[in-house]
Amino acid sequence: MKKIIKSNQIPLFLRGLALTAFFSCIVFITNAQIVVDENSAWNKDSIYPVGALKSDFYAQSFFANEPYLTKIGAVIREHNPEGQVLLSIVPANSSGYPDLTKVLYQGSLINPNTTYTWYYENMHIRVNVGQKYFLLIDGYDNAGATGNSRIGLSSKSTDTNEPVIYTNNNGSFWDSGSYSSKYLAIYVEGTTTPVPVSIWSIIAAFAALIVTSFFVVRRKLA
């Protein structure tokens, strides 16, 4: 039986493996560029209610320290069924309040547990370093929502040093009310990488395959 792969072609496949390892290192380095922008611990306290039976939105400001946001999170607990909410990212408007007309990211509908839980959303959105943004707890007019939820607080402020704010009229007026020294417990991750790591992995695999095939075909034609 004729060999499918000649012995003198084995080094070519080893080259391909070496190239794959090289590109994998690039992917690993890219993945290592993930930076935690905000990570304010939950202090067991909460603000409520947000949802169909009270406030439309809660918002916590932060400054973007990386050009891309990749993950956000908040502590949520259902207060009255059904307390569905959304996690969103919006920039600040000219007055420094959330600009609800420019939603950069809106997550899937969260139907929270009756115990306090961290909920996260993964994304890859472009932001401007140094600009103020808001992580929104969106309880406005959500499908199936008839109740409301509680949102976890933190004793630690974000880098804006601003308290949590809320609106009861879809953003026409924002206030901190009695929460002027309270902050939402939030998590924000960012990166300098313009392309998601999964895309880099695909490119690396194709590059290794193309280069390996080129050398094999070239040797066969020689």
pLDDT of residue 24: 56
Q: Say which DSSP state 20 is in.
A: H
* Residue 118 clears pLDDT 70, i.e. is over it: yes
* Model confidence pLDDT, tens digit, residues 153-203: 999 999 999 999 999 999 999 999 999 999 999 999 999 987 655 555 656
1 vs 185, more confident:
185
Has residue 22 got a pLDDT over 70?
Answer: no
Ordered domains of the chain (ranges, CATH) = 7-33+196-221 (no CATH), 35-191 (2.60.120)
How far, CA to CA in Å, does 75 sit from each of 15, 101, 125, 150, 206? 49, 25, 22, 8, 40
Looking at residue 181, its pLDDT comes to: 95
Amino acid 220: pLDDT: 56
Predicted structure pTM score:
0.78
CA 160 – CA 167 distance, rounded (Å): 19
pLDDT at 108: 96
Q: Tens digit of pLDDT for each residue in 126-138?
A: 999 999 999 999 9
